Amino acid sequence: DTEVTQTPKHLVMGMTNKKSLKCEQHMGHRAMYWYKQKAKKPPELMFVYSYEKLSINESVPSRFSPECPNSSLLNLHLHALQPEDSALYLCASRSTTGKTYGYTFGSGTRLTVV
């Protein structure tokens, strides 16, 4: 299995809703990432988990709450989002051993906040 799987593919939520995005990989990668991509913009790093511990938080608002329950799963919990949070949310993983530097991205969750 050489994929990063993200669910759901599409999500529409109201500003008072609570929802979660899920990311899963079974490549044994111990670094996992959340990126946010707005239309016609490059992906922007949100969070980095290394060995299931949060190592980088790029000053993301607290309405986004990441969680890494085990080495294969990465969640992004969403609460009280704003319409400007609508974007494509990408998960990625990477090996932290040897010389394998390649990042593998999921196909993303298209989030619309109404």
Backbone angles phi, psi at 21, to 5 degrees: -100, 145
Is the Cβ–Cβ distance between 49 and 32 less than 8 Å?
yes
Query: Is residue 88 within the footprint of another protein (CB under 8 A)?
Result: yes
Q: Is 96 in the site for another protein (CB under 8 A)?
A: yes
Tokens of 74: 């990465």
Nearer to another protein, 44 or 67 (CB): 44
| Contact stretch for another protein (CB under 8 A) within 12-20, 59-67, 75-83, 91-99 | 91-99
Of 14-22, 26-34, 66-74, 75-83: span binding another protein (CB under 8 A)? 26-34
106 is an interface residue for another protein by CB under 8 A: yes
CB nearer to another protein: give 78 or 94: 94
8 Å CB contact between 17 and 82: no
Q: Which one of 41, 63, 83, 113 is in contact with another protein (CB under 8 A)?
A: 41
Q: Per-residue x/- mask for another protein, residues 50 to 69, rule CB under 8 A?
A: x----xx-x-----------
